[in-house]
């Protein structure tokens, strides 16, 4: 049985979603953010040296980092589902999106999360942050033109991984001028497995776009 160390309003929600898409049995150990600081509780340090989520336990394996978790679950349990075959021309595109989410796209969103509360103290950084957000969200918007999902008509684990980018952007009201991104997120959130993961994982404020 897979155990997910799940922190509310975090990247771990997409791991629950992937498990639901794969139809795997899993248990959840829940952790709640501090109501004032919004930081993860110190209890997570017992399972991750940095006190971060998601972390999964699968037998003797303990795996952290959402991209690594998704890659592991796909390789071990997905069979031919939720990814192009490694021989297909779409595979490299799939891998690019899988790594782009945390490798590049998340940084300007994290900067916005941390800098916006500073008010005037963060004003000097805002033009650069907004420029980077326009750059990355514009790239995803253009990449979705004429497509249902990131890899054409194939719903894949790359969509699950990238969904967090769209949802965080949506929480800052950054999708209203990006119709492709908005429609893509709404398609993802309409999936039964997504809804089942919300039910299992609990309230998820980032899901509102």
For the stretch 80-115, pLDDT in tens is: 999 999 999 999 999 999 999 999 999 999 999 899
Class of domain 91-191: mainly alpha
The rounded Cα 139 to chain-centroid distance in angstroms is 17
For the stretch 120-175, pLDDT in tens is: 898 999 999 999 999 999 999 999 999 999 998 999 999 999 999 999 999 999 99
Show contacts of 29-32: CB within 8 Å, 24+ apart. Answer: 29/3, 29/4, 29/5, 30/6, 30/202, 31/5, 31/6, 31/7, 32/7, 32/8
pLDDT of residue 174: 95
Residue 24: CB atoms within 10 Å: 15
The span from the CA of 197 to the CA of 108, in Å, is 27
CATH 1.20.1050.10 domain locations along the chain: 91-191
81 alpha carbon, distance to own chain's centre: 19
User: What pLDDT was estimated at residue 8?
Assistant: 87
Coil, helix or strand at residue 138: helix
- As annotated, the residues of the chain forming the CATH 3.40.30.10 domain(s) are 2-82+194-207
CATH topology of domain 2-82+194-207: Glutaredoxin (3.40.30)
pTM of the full structure: 0.94
């Amino acid at each position: 049985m897979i155990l997910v160390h799940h922190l509310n309003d975090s990247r771990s929600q997409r791991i629950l979603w992937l498990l639901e898409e794969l139809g795997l049995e899993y248990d959840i150990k829940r952790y709640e953010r501090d109501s004032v600081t919004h930081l993860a509780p110190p209890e997570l340090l017992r399972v991750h040296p940095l006190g971060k989520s998601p972390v999964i336990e699968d037998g003797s394996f303990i795996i952290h980092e959402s991209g690594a978790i998704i890659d592991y679950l796909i390789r071990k349990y997905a069979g031919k589902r939720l990814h192009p075959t490694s021989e297909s021309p779409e595979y490299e595109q799939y891998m690019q999106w899988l790594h782009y989410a945390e490798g590049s796209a998340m940084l300007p969103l994290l900067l916005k999360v941390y800098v916006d509360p500073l008010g005037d103290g963060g004003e000097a950084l805002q033009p650069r942050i907004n420029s980077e957000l326009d750059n990355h969200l514009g790239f995803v918007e253009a990449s979705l033109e004429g497509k249902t999902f990131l890899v054409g008509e194939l719903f894949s684990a790359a969509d699950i991984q990238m969904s967090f980018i769209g949802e965080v952007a949506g929480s800052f009201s950054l999708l209203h001028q990006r119709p492709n991104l908005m429609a893509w997120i709404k398609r993802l959130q309409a999936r039964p497995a997504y809804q089942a993961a919300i039910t299992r994982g609990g309230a998820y404020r980032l899901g509102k776009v």
